[in-house]
Structure 1
Amino acid sequence: MSEVLPAGSPAAAEEADLARARDGDGAAFTRLVQPLRRELHAHCYRMLGSVHDADDALQDALLRAWRGLGRFEGRGSLRSWLYKVATHACLDAVESRGRRALPVDLGPSSERAVLDDVPPADVAWLGPYPDAGLGDDGTAGRYAQREAVELAFVAALQHLPGNQRAALLLFEVLGFAVAEIAALMDTSTTSVNSALARARRVVAEKVPQRSQQQALRLVGDARLRQVVAAYAGALERGDADAMVALLTEDVTWSMPPMPHWYRGIEAVTDFVVRVPMTSCPPWRHRETSANGQPAVACYLWDERAGAHLPWAINVLTLRDGLIAEVTSFVGAEHFPPFGLPASLP
């Protein structure tokens, strides 16, 4: 005997919308999936390492869900079923597009600034994630939602085959049980446990023990604001000494899609002095947040446009109150998802 839901309750409203959606009501389907879009999009980003790929995968998944809604029998939650559809859409994308990389994945660091850096044409690059509004969505995984979009974690995921990526995210981030994951991925619990074991080994080797969320809590809001403002100010003024004072001795700096990257205070100082502070026109900036980390959107002066135009989103990784890593995602295409202006005067 089926349970009678109280009239007017959220569960009753969902049941009514589900019935309407199965009858072809697109507005009812939109009401069903809208509360889950944000977390599903974040899942697709973790799987694929690109906001634009996540957009495509989520659109594909929702289309599959709309067309296949009649196959949803209601034995589990609609949320679990949508995660199954989205995961399979992402797995198809992983198979067709391969993994995304950062410059550190391509080769050793450079000791001096490379002025003629030419982006390779055959590399798919990891991209930044606009995390505004990303909070606790009630999942029970080991990783908090912002920890699960941090650059180090998402970059480590890219070294895993698609099935290991999916198993780790579904278990460690979203809190699904192994048996549930096996059902979601149409495989056995033995295969899921094997994928989890392999994935955990790779991630443990590549992700720092202390997450950025933990590091930022230790830094404190006041120091964090100070560091971000000082970084942006030093860049705008061309003040290399002020910039270097913010960096750790083992700092790294990369600029995807440029293949060269720099490690250590001497190499990074040489790069900073010769490239952003000497070779480039004046900068302006907007502070933002990306991948659960502080970020600075940099705009470069364009004489023909008579304005500062989008150039790069610099994602900062902090340690002990200093900047341990700068990842400058170069390209105007990164700016719209962050809701940033198209130019600055």
Structure 2
Amino acid sequence: MTDARPLGADEATFIAAARSGDAARFALITERHRRELQVHCYRMLANYEDAQDLTQETFLRAWHKRESFQGHATLRTWLYRIATNACLDFLGKRDNRTPVPSGLPDSELPYLQPYPDRMLPEDPQDSAVARETIELAFIVAVQHLPPRQRVVFILRDVLGWPAPKTAEALELTVASTTSALQRARVTMRAQLPGRRLDWRSPATHELSSDERGVVKSYIDAHQRNDLDALTSLLRDDLRFAMLPDPGTVTTTAKHAVDGWISGGLFQPGHDDWRGIATTVNRMPAAALYLRTPGHPEHRLFAIALLHIVDGEIAELTGFDATGTPWLDLPPAL
């Protein structure tokens, strides 16, 4: 795989470390690519813990294959190829990672996990961290692509790789790569109707003041147990999911709140809330803490990722936050 470029300092240093068997130097050189490779694996797998594991697998494979690196491609390209193949191998062994289309995208993704913003690459201009390509709706939509289409779409339309480079990395012809990309784009348009689909145009990164205000109001409504205020924040065609429970539902705002009440929330003993505004998957989010009878502290209960449209919550994806230490949230307030 070639990038038609002279051997760079990074590649020369890597080759020297590989030939000398200097594991510490090898790790130091490859480690700088960890965050972007982990995001790549996350897009492929939609699961933070699996992305961590596959990124580590990428470095192990790179070490074992180090003698094969000749500097014909950039080190970054070479590592992406290894990470991609590691993810494809993983997907080939996991039948439960192929969702069955049903019109409810989240319902087939019980393995979906949130991604902490603090673990994103630090360069805000990097296409690897464009907000539109890390939000939950995008991650879910990508999972509906067959694995080979998935990686072609990510490499071509998200990372901006040219067709020959993508084809060579995947050991495909340019024609088959182009065909896979065309089919992937059709699926993505169907999965993300009404969303911006040109991933190569300038992307947003920051929350709007409107989004920040809605998150604050969402937390305030919980802390005051103000169900009318909470209902008013939700769009009447709200899409709601609470993972890992199966099923995404489109419901009215009132039915959503009534369902939470019937499940025991906002009732005596489950009505003492605190919250922290944060961002996850570059989306506005609220970390919710609940103090139950017999406990002196508010303990981390759930995190709600919000897609906000025109000042209202159009999509709410909740996660049980008790098993997500990587989000780096306080366990109690």
Q: Give the TM-score taking structure 1 as reference length.
A: 0.82
Cα offsets for 1:17-58 (capped at 9, x unmatched): 431233211221122112211111000000000000101111
User: Out of 307, 310, 328, which is 1:339 matched to?
Assistant: 328
Amino acid at match of 1:166: V
CA distance in 1, matches of 2:260, 2:49: 30
Describe the superposition over 1:225-253 as per-residue Cα deviations: whole angstroms up to 9, x where unpaired: 21111101111222111111212221122
Provide the secondary structure at the position in 2 that maps to 1:70.
Answer: helix
Are 1:277 and 2:305 matched, yes or no?
A: no
**Displacement after TM superposition at 1:156 (Å):** 0.6
Residues 164, 198 of structure 1: 8 Å contact kept: yes
Matches within 5 A, 1:119-268: 124-132=110-118, 133-134=120-121, 136=123, 145-211=130-196, 221-260=208-247, 261-268=249-256
2:90 matched residue in structure 1: 93
CA distance in 1, matches of 2:75, 2:207: 39
1:15 and 2:5 are equivalent in the alignment: no
Structure 2 counterpart of 1:251, one-letter code: L
SS of 1:198 mapped into structure 2: helix
1:274 deviation in Å? 3.1
Matched to 1:298, the amino acid is L
- Structure 1 CA distance for aligned equivalents of residues 98 and 260 of structure 2: 23
CA distance in 2 between partners of 1:51 and 1:41 (Å): 8
**Identity of matched residues, %:** 37
Q: How far apart in 1 are the matches of 2:121 and 2:218?
A: 25
* 2:172 aligned partner, one-letter code: T
Q: For 2:316, what is the secondary structure of its paired residue?
A: strand
Aligned partner of residue 127 in structure 1, secondary structure: coil
CA–CA separation in structure 1 for the residues paired with 2:138 and 2:156: 15
More displaced 10-residue stretch of structure 1: 62-71 or 27-36: 27-36
Q: Aligned residue for 1:297?
A: 287
Query: Secondary structure of 2:243's match?
Result: coil
Q: Which TM-score applies when normalising by structure 2?
A: 0.85
Structure 1: distance between partners of 2:180 and 2:294:
53
Aligned mates of 2:102, 2:290 — CA distance in 1:
27
Give the conservation status (yes or no) of the 8 Å contact 1:14–1:32. Answer: no
3-state DSSP of counterpart to 2:290: strand
1:274-312 CA distance string (max 9 Å, x none) = 343237352222222111210111222255654322222
SS in 1 for 2:73: coil
Q: Which amino acid aligns with 1:59?
A: Q
Q: Distance in 1 between matches of 2:33 and 2:50?
A: 18
Structure 2's unaligned 5+ residue stretches are none
Cα distance in structure 2, aligned partners of 1:239 and 1:137: 37
Amino acid at match of 2:316: V
Q: Is the 8 A contact 1:254 1:262 kept in 2?
A: no
Query: Structure 2 vs 1, CA of residues 98 and 22 (structure 1 numbering), >3 Å: closer, same or farther?
Result: farther
Please tell me the residue identity of whatever aligns with 2:185.
R
Kindly state the Cα deviation for residue 108 of structure 1 after the two structures are TM-superposed: 7.1
Q: Any conservation in 1 of the 2:42–2:51 contact (CA below 8 Å)?
A: yes
Aligned 8 A contact 1:18 1:28 in 2: no
How far did 1:14 drift? 5.1
Give the number of equivalent residue pairs.
321
Q: Distance in 2 between matches of 1:4 and 1:265?
A: 59
| Deviation of 1:205 (Å) | 0.6
The question of whether the paired residues in 2 share the 8 Å contact of 1:254 and 1:327 is answered with: yes
Q: Secondary structure at the match of 2:137?
A: helix
Aligned twin of 2:28: 31
Give the CA deviation at 1:343.
Answer: 2.0
Matches within 5 A, 1:59-138: 59-98=56-95, 100=97, 124-132=110-118, 133-134=120-121, 136=123
Q: Which moved more, 1:188-197 or 1:60-69?
A: 188-197
For the residue of structure 2 that corresponds to 1:165, the secondary structure is helix
Q: What are structure 1's unaligned runs of at least 5 residues?
A: 6-10, 110-119
Cα RMSD, aligned residues only: 3.2
